Structure 1
Amino acid sequence: MIKIKEIANQLFQLPQTISLIYAFNSTGKTKLSVGYKEITKANNGGKHLGVYYNAYSEDLFVWDNDEPHFNENAKLEVVYSSLNKFHSLLLDTDILEEKLSLYHPRYKFILNLYDDSDREKGIKSITFFVNDETKEAIKISRGEERIFIWCFFLALFDSGSWTEAQNAHFFIDDPVSSMDEHNIFTTAESITKLIDSTYPKKKIILTTHHIGLFSILADRLTKGHKSSKYKEDTAIFLLERNAKGELKLNNQNGAFLFHLHLLKTLDDAANTELFSYHFVLLRQLLENISSFLGRGGIGFALSQIELEEDPNIVAERINSLSHKDTYKTQSNKMSEPEETMFRDILGQIISTYKFKF
């Protein structure tokens, strides 16, 4: 049976600079990031070659609620680790504020040093506040906290303060595991910016269970306006277990399962709540159908279903709505006409092609 260590070694041996991996929850994404760390350290005399963001990253941040003083000095403590020596650029620049700005936080914050003000020790804690005058400490929500931690690591990744010994790669495991749907495209944008700023100097490996994030990034890296730069240097995989429970890093055989999961995701969204990024997924589904039928582009798949409008016009509209500039607005919800069009197209796809999922 193939083990995580073998999958990690397979990733390590890849020539591509960017690896994008989709996997269901509980498949082993976090174990893969740990396995990759062990493989790279073993090949580097036991020393770190890169930096990691995974489920363990949040454990480095712990709330001190200051219960004896009725939360007067509540703050988010930063557990001391080997990362502290890289905190200096967060103290000297606005890079953390820049990363957070994409998420439009309602709070402000202060990065607190240790009592002896020794900057070499890094950041001891973070105080959050809303009122600029009083700076009265507040406790941010769990969702806000997770976004802050993600941006904290993004800022560290992008700070340029890493030593050569730990500068080979970034491994990002499930950055949206705890974020709501409103932030999917924002997170995709933040990752795209990270790739733009570090490519091709550092390898970036990203795993996710979120099909929306996976699809948006895959689309940008292989079909977007910068795809000529990244396409040939990007490896895209599905991490999955077969009927025997064997783990595989699959770039072809898992496609059918991926399409069905994509379709189910869109159907679930159509029956609950639709966001703008779902047009990216819809376009990808249409492209996959056209490709399966031996044709390129989404127009052919649209021409095979019963639509009131010209399929070419509908195709142009979908392409426009799935373009990245559409998502620069603060609202990520679809408008009512967009929802109607989306549900009509999806319903016709399911009816015409008799998908079962």
Structure 2
Amino acid sequence: MSITLASINELAMHLRTELEEKKFVLLYAYNGTGKTRLSMEFRDIGKQGDDDEATRDTLYFNAFTEDLFTWDNDLEGDCARVLKMNAVSRFFAGLEALEMETRIRPFLHRYADFDFRIEYSDWSIRFSRDVKVGEITETIDNIKVSRGEENLFIWCFFLAIAQLAMDGAEAYQWVKYIYIDDPITSLDEHNAIAVGNHLAQFMRRKDHSIKTVISSHHALFFNVLWNELREIDRKKFAPHFLSHIRKTDQYQLSYTGDTPFFHHLTLLQEIWRAKESGQIYTHHFNSLRSLLEKSSIFHGHKKFTVCIKQQDDDTDDTLYGRLVNILSHGNYSFYDPVDMLPENKAHFEKILLDFLDFYPFNPELMPATLEQETTP
């Protein structure tokens, strides 16, 4: 089922109408479709007035949110690098009294190994990292974090504010909608799974009335959210594929129905590369589960365990299903991947190879081994 909308304003209005009945709208769209413009159009519809007292109803995360943070690299002294916040933005209104550091850290420490402090006197953020030198751990202050780490910090900053809105904090009682556009532009496939899973769990809280729109061009991220959010209540969840008809400047919204937007071949190639290189980490069990889920849904089954080869001594087909269930859950570190235990590696490879024997994909789709890829 698909509909054609004449303009981006009409599209934004349609999403608001849809959210009268739904709790979540999930959009997949290629880069250049107009996702960021759509998020701003959605926000603008909810604004009343043009001055500082204007009312609003949408808390959003997009490229403009990231632009509220800029680096001062201390070009003269080259030692006190800080991330500056745009103090005139209403995004930061009232934060000084809300103990933001203690709210941001639980999110940030899921992913990163650096720390920070906010200086409200000059609206700056200073980063630090503990480094082990011999037997002593030293704290290095005023560091410049990487672009990926910076994006993660801003994302966690936003999640802390979203949590305030969901908790009903007075400063954010105006929030009726949360609109998130591509929060993972600098993250790889493994991290897309972790961020998508965490975001879905975060948004699944039932003790608030805020409605959410999430848009992304990242297929794996979309699939993770699709699988997680549909478990809440399918009647409250609307996944769509969004496309832009450039010739007419119209937009087409296609409902994805009971089948997510499949990119399990890409996921399979990623898992195969890890297996061939021997660099199998604990988070790869999450990738393997995602592959099994996508394949089972594609073939019309409700449980991913149908894609696990049944063993002669396990007639109930429970052993490997339980292993995947247990080993695909847990916290993930972006910068400190954890090696899988040898026994679990053996289980991982057996499940994968049995799956490929069960569903014979074209072997030419499998990427070269790491050794082959690096051979001149």
Alignment partner of 2:83: what SS? Answer: strand
Q: CA deviation at 1:168?
A: 0.4
Q: Is the 8 A contact 1:212 1:278 kept in 2?
A: no
Is 1:114 matched with 2:116? no
Alignment partner of 2:187: what SS? Answer: coil
- What CA distance in whole angstroms lies between the structure 2 residues aligned with 1:240 and 1:350? 31
Q: CA deviation at 1:299?
A: 5.0
- What CA distance in whole angstroms lies between the structure 1 residues aligned with 2:181 and 2:158? 12
Comparing 170-179 with 204-213, greater Cα deviation is found at: 204-213
Q: CA deviation at 1:101?
A: 1.6
Q: CA deviation at 1:166?
A: 2.9
Cα deviation, 1:16-43, whole Å, max 9, x if unaligned, reads 1122222333333222212211233379
1:174 to 173, 177, 182: 182
Percent identity between matched residues is 24
Is 1:326 matched with 2:329? yes
Q: CA deviation at 1:318?
A: 4.5
- Structure 1 length as normaliser, TM-score? 0.77
Alignment partner of 1:41: what SS? Answer: coil
Cα deviation, 1:281-322, whole Å, max 9, x if unaligned, reads 21222322331xxx543455557xxx7768976676246425
* Counterpart position of 2:83: 76
Q: CA deviation at 1:100?
A: 0.9
User: Structure 1 counterpart of 2:110, which letter?
Assistant: L
Higher percent of residues as strand? 2
Alignment partner of 1:66: what SS? Answer: coil
Structure 2: runs of 5+ lacking an equivalent: 131-136, 367-376
Is 1:137 matched with 2:145? no
Q: Describe the shift of the 1:101–1:6 C-alpha distance in structure 2 as closer, same or farther (beyond 3 A).
A: same
Is 1:236 matched with 2:239? yes
Alignment partner of 1:176: what SS? Answer: coil
User: Structure 2 counterpart of 1:58, which letter?
Assistant: E
TM alignment of 1:336-355, pairs within 5 A: 336-341=345-350, 343-348=352-357, 350-351=359-360
Q: Is the 8 A contact 1:302 1:315 kept in 2?
A: no
Q: CA deviation at 1:125?
A: 0.7
- What CA distance in whole angstroms lies between the structure 1 residues aligned with 2:226 and 2:186? 21
* Counterpart position of 1:119: none
Alignment partner of 1:126: what SS? Answer: strand
Comparing 23-32 with 268-277, greater Cα deviation is found at: 268-277
1:102 to 110, 115, 119: 110
Q: CA deviation at 1:234?
A: 1.8
Cα deviation, 1:154-194, whole Å, max 9, x if unaligned, reads 11111244646631011111111112334334323432343
Alignment partner of 1:283: what SS? Answer: helix
* Counterpart position of 2:272: 270
- What CA distance in whole angstroms lies between the structure 1 residues aligned with 2:26 and 2:64? 20
* Counterpart position of 2:299: 290
Cα deviation, 1:136-162, whole Å, max 9, x if unaligned, reads 311111111110010011111112446
Structure 1: runs of 5+ lacking an equivalent: 116-123
User: Structure 2 counterpart of 1:238, which letter?
Assistant: F
- What CA distance in whole angstroms lies between the structure 2 residues aligned with 1:27 and 1:91? 38
Q: CA deviation at 1:266?
A: 2.4
Q: CA deviation at 1:238?
A: 2.1
Q: Is the 8 A contact 2:288 2:352 kept in 1?
A: no
* Counterpart position of 1:51: 59
User: Structure 2 counterpart of 1:36, which letter?
Assistant: F
- What CA distance in whole angstroms lies between the structure 1 residues aligned with 2:126 and 2:339? 32
Alignment partner of 2:99: what SS? Answer: helix
- What CA distance in whole angstroms lies between the structure 1 residues aligned with 2:360 and 2:323? 25
* Counterpart position of 1:210: 218
Is 1:125 matched with 2:130? no
- What CA distance in whole angstroms lies between the structure 2 residues aligned with 1:243 and 1:255? 27
Q: Is the 8 A contact 1:290 1:298 kept in 2?
A: no
Q: Is the 8 A contact 2:107 2:156 kept in 1?
A: yes
RMSD of the TM alignment (CA)? Answer: 3.8
- What CA distance in whole angstroms lies between the structure 2 residues aligned with 1:348 and 1:244? 45
- Structure 2 length as normaliser, TM-score? 0.74
- What CA distance in whole angstroms lies between the structure 2 residues aligned with 1:109 and 1:340? 40
Q: Is the 8 A contact 2:285 2:348 kept in 1?
A: no
Q: Is the 8 A contact 2:286 2:327 kept in 1?
A: no
* Counterpart position of 2:151: 146
Q: Is the 8 A contact 1:236 1:251 kept in 2?
A: yes
Q: CA deviation at 1:59?
A: 0.9
Aligned residue-pair number: 334
Q: Is the 8 A contact 2:47 2:57 kept in 1?
A: yes
- What CA distance in whole angstroms lies between the structure 2 residues aligned with 1:309 and 1:27? 50
Q: Is the 8 A contact 1:90 1:156 kept in 2?
A: no
User: Structure 1 counterpart of 2:117, which letter?
Assistant: I
